Structure 1
């Protein structure tokens, strides 16, 4: 129970990587606030987790790109559990589009959710962690597209690269309060969304050196390490979890 007596917020967690992170945190003893934009998805995810983890997870549906809502998550968590120890800003959206015709509304939507949501969640949580005087851990979900160019993902890749710079900068702001901040960069991962593409697994198995895309557990294991007490002296760093793909960077057709 390595997260016993810890309280965590995870955004974008109704399914996929975020859900797996919540499930593992709860399994290891944490109290978890699970956020997703879709109320039905969030509530179903919490029900699944609580079936085996004694009501350790609560749903907080809403738009993680809305600053007032983000601040509300933090206030709700403190009201419910008295503190916050871990924040994982996992929520993000992907809007493909050709650079020459990419619409402003898509650009600003990506920046609002992927960047503003993550920035202001970290801000609100760090203020609370500072008051608590007991440290904490903040983790952003970046992407391999923040390291290697993908066609039609200029805005998305830009937003993910920016999260890694945010983590580095927050080292200056937060280290004195015992708060470490890092990012993970998942590569191709088998989730409910990616498996909607019947060729996804075969394509990424072919071009990934380790011979398969990641399972959500591969990403969750790395995330839990970086927000655990075992990683307290790791801060401002990014961990790529991609089976070696960024080393070769073969583009999917």
Structure 2
């Protein structure tokens, strides 16, 4: 359990959480007694995920669909969290977009999309939640979703990898800005993870099972367990860090394209 916390005390905003890793994080938070504001760009996924959590954990979740790259919407998320649950103590900036493309032909439009959601959305979610936590004087936690592509070069992911490395630097920099207010800031960097999206590639699981030292890609729960630890009281002296969760892949880094 998250010690010395209950639903009224611990409230998390999780973006991009209609399915996959984001939903798994919400489910694990709910299991630990945390109230959740669950966001996804897709209204149907948002409602389905909210209903599933509320049925399983008894009205723990408020679903709010919308664009997590939009600063006005981000501020509305925080407002709704406070209105519904009384406070915000955790932000998990999980929303992100992966647009593959060769560097030499990558378009300004594609780069803008990747930058807006992965960086702009994460930056301003952290800002809005930090402002609220400071107002509350409660302390809290911010978690960014990085990637192994922020550590190792990956074909056709120059833009994506750049944004993920930047999020890790943001986590470090915010230690200087936010530690005085009792706010920890960390990141997790998942490797290959078997989600609804990646499962659409019929070769994905076999390929990554072959080249991952632990013999399989991660499950969403593997990432969720680490994420929830980093926003818990058990991690209250961990800040500015990135935890890579990849079954050992970055230690050897074989390409999935070979």
Instruction: Compute the TM-score of the two structures, normalised by the length of structure 1.
Output: 0.99
Asked if 1:4 is matched to 2:23, the reply is: no
Aligned counterpart, 2:33:
29
| Distance (whole Å) between structure 1 residues aligned to residue 108 and residue 56 of structure 2 | 44
| 1:38-92 per-position Cα deviation (integer Å, ceiling 9, x unaligned) | 0000100111111110010110100001111011101111111111111100000
Aligned counterpart, 1:14:
18
Number of aligned residues = 253
Give unpaired runs (5+ residues) of structure 1: none
Give unpaired runs (5+ residues) of structure 2: none
Aligned counterpart, 1:238:
242
Which of 130, 143, 151 pairs up with 1:126? 130
Aligned counterpart, 1:188:
192
| Distance (whole Å) between structure 2 residues aligned to residue 36 and residue 58 of structure 1 | 12
| Distance (whole Å) between structure 1 residues aligned to residue 192 and residue 36 of structure 2 | 26
Asked if 1:252 is matched to 2:256, the reply is: yes
| Distance (whole Å) between structure 2 residues aligned to residue 82 and residue 51 of structure 1 | 22
CA RMSD of aligned residues (A): 0.7
| Distance (whole Å) between structure 1 residues aligned to residue 26 and residue 46 of structure 2 | 11
| Distance (whole Å) between structure 1 residues aligned to residue 199 and residue 123 of structure 2 | 30
| 1:187-232 per-position Cα deviation (integer Å, ceiling 9, x unaligned) | 0001000000000000000000000000111000000000000001
Which ranges of 4 or more aligned residues in structure 1 deviate by more than 3 Å?
none
Asked if 1:148 is matched to 2:155, the reply is: no
| Distance (whole Å) between structure 2 residues aligned to residue 55 and residue 80 of structure 1 | 11
Which of 168, 176, 186 pairs up with 1:172? 176
Which of 205, 213, 216 pairs up with 2:209? 205
Q: CA deviation at 1:4?
A: 2.2
Aligned counterpart, 2:115:
111
